[in-house]
Amino acid sequence: MRRSAGRRTAGVRAQAPAPPDPIVVRPVRRGDLAQIIAIDATVTGLEKRDYWRSIYRRYGDSGHLERQFLVADTGERVVGFVIGEVRDWEFGSPPCGWVFAIDVNPDSRQAGIGTRLLDAICASFQRAGVRKVRTMLGRDNTLILSFFRSQGMMAGPFIPLEMDLGT
Amino acid sequence: MKLQKNTSLALYSVLEFAADPHRHISAAEIADKYGVSSHHLAKVLSDLARAGVVESVRGVGGGYRFAGNARRLTLMDVIRTFEDLSPAAADRREPGERTPVGRALGAVLSEIDEIAKATFSSITLATMLRLIERQQRNQAESQTRSTNNRASGSESRRGAKPKPATRT
């Protein structure tokens, strides 16, 4: 028996539309800074107002496609952020995207927000023409290391080195 | 870097179990797949059960099943069950290790150890299973491309004009 288009067969319920996604990933605004400073302070224990203002000036207000400062917004508050940029030929590498900060408010974790943020910044790197994304973090930062690995990232060909400078 | 045999077997086994956490798998099935003795593997599985990573299943079929949380358990959690990763106590060090050359070399080896530990500690079983899937997918795509290339090569050769016979 053929059904005509637009008629529901008796006994078949129409599916309710999915609730609107509460999380929106969007470019940062100046008004977000206080919340970003608070998230960072919760995680690191340090309130770095001047640092975040300078980061906003460089990455949030630059108008450059290669510099990205994105936030995850629930509609009521900012719960996470990601910052990165395309760097050309540093450390001998062809242009690639670097993620140098990502964080989600601890009480909003395990909900896929970090993944949404990373996906969004990777998409913007692709729009800027690069095909590789890198990051660097402390090897004792197991939580964030695990996050990046869960997204498919593997160790890159670089080795960070350091030394103390004489006093 | 080389892991001890028991550690490798433990990792193979745990990943087999975690890939299908509701399935009961016998030691013989895993031993057969990885080309090891069931007796040897049974000891490894027994250690994993004691660590709470797998649990033995009584009754028809028997075997073991996964008992952990793949999103929380890391490769390091499994490795630590079978290998002692703590630095050697002073009384267990070789005499050469106490010399300036030995200490400098020890610093280099420590650097490698710390990177290895950080790597193992950052990879959960769930991440490892995704990595395995990705590699299987890449391998399948590579084989398909290879088959297509061979097929198009054969067609080109069939379409080519025959070479003229050489006169002697």
The CATH number given to whatever domain includes residue A38 is: 3.40.630.30
Strands A78-87 and A96-104 turn out to be antiparallel
| Interface with B, mutate which of A115, A137, A150 (most B CBs under 10 A) | A150
Asked if B119 lies within 8 A of A155 by C-beta distance, the reply is: yes
Of 3.40.50.720, 2.60.120.10, 1.10.10.10, 1.10.4160.10, the CATH number of B5-133 is: 1.10.10.10
What whole-number percentage of chain A has pLDDT above 90? 77
d(CA B73, nearest CA chain A) in Å: 11
Domain enclosing residue A109, as ranges: 24-150
Would you say residue A14 lies in a domain?
A: no
How confident is the model at residue A9, as a pLDDT?
A: 47
> Which residue on chain A is closest to B129 by alpha carbon?
A150
Asked if B124 lies within 8 A of A145 by C-beta distance, the reply is: no
Using only C-alpha atoms, chain B has a radius of gyration, in whole angstroms, of 25
> Which residue on chain B is closest to A144 by alpha carbon?
B122
Asked if B115 lies within 8 A of A152 by C-beta distance, the reply is: no
C-alpha to C-alpha distances, B72 to A147, B51, B69, nearest whole angstrom = 11, 14, 5
The better pLDDT of the pair B86, B15 is held by: B15
In chain B, what residues touch A140 (CB-CB under 8 Å)?
118
Would you say residue A101 lies in a domain?
A: yes
| Interface with A, mutate which of B73, B74, B122 (most A CBs under 10 A) | B122
Asked if B118 lies within 8 A of A152 by C-beta distance, the reply is: no
Confidence check: pLDDT of B134 > 80: yes
Whether residue B10 contacts residue B90, with contact meaning beta carbons closer than 8 Å, is answered with no
Domain locations in chain B as residue ranges:
5-133
The better pLDDT of the pair B46, B92 is held by: B46
> Which residue on chain B is closest to A137 by alpha carbon?
B118
In chain A, what residues touch B126 (CB-CB under 8 Å)?
150
What whole-number percentage of chain B has pLDDT above 70? 86
Report ipTM for this prediction: 0.74
How confident is the model at residue B161, as a pLDDT?
A: 55
For residue B104, the SS3 value is helix
How confident is the model at residue B159, as a pLDDT?
A: 58
What whole-number percentage of chain A has pLDDT above 70? 87
Least Cα distance to A83 among A103, A101, A104 occurs for: A101
Would you say residue A7 lies in a domain?
A: no
How confident is the model at residue B168, as a pLDDT?
A: 41
pTM for this prediction: 0.80
For A57-141, where are the alpha helices, taking DSSP H only? 113-127
How confident is the model at residue B84, as a pLDDT?
A: 83
Mean pLDDT of chain A: 88
Q: Which positions 120-159 of B are in contact with A (Cβ < 8 Å)?
A: 121-124, 126-127, 130-131, 134
User: How many domains in chain A?
Assistant: 1
How confident is the model at residue B167, as a pLDDT?
A: 45
Strands A24-27 and B54-56 turn out to be unpaired
How confident is the model at residue A1, as a pLDDT?
A: 40
The better pLDDT of the pair B5, B87 is held by: B5
Segment B38-69, tens digit of pLDDT = 999 999 999 999 999 999 988 776 799 999 99
Asked if A150 lies within 8 A of B124 by C-beta distance, the reply is: yes
Reported as half-sphere exposure (CB side, CA atoms, 13 A), residue B98 has a value of 7
Rounded mean pLDDT, A59-77: 90
Rounded mean pLDDT, B59-85: 91
How confident is the model at residue A2, as a pLDDT?
A: 41
Would you say residue A98 lies in a domain?
A: yes
- Quick one: pLDDT band at residue B95, thresholds 50, 70, 90? confident
A-B Cβ pairs (cutoff 8 Å, strict): 27
Would you say residue A79 lies in a domain?
A: yes
Span between the terminal Cα atoms of chain B, in Å: 62
Whether residue A104 contacts residue A154, with contact meaning beta carbons closer than 8 Å, is answered with no
CB distance from B119 to chain A under 8 Å? yes
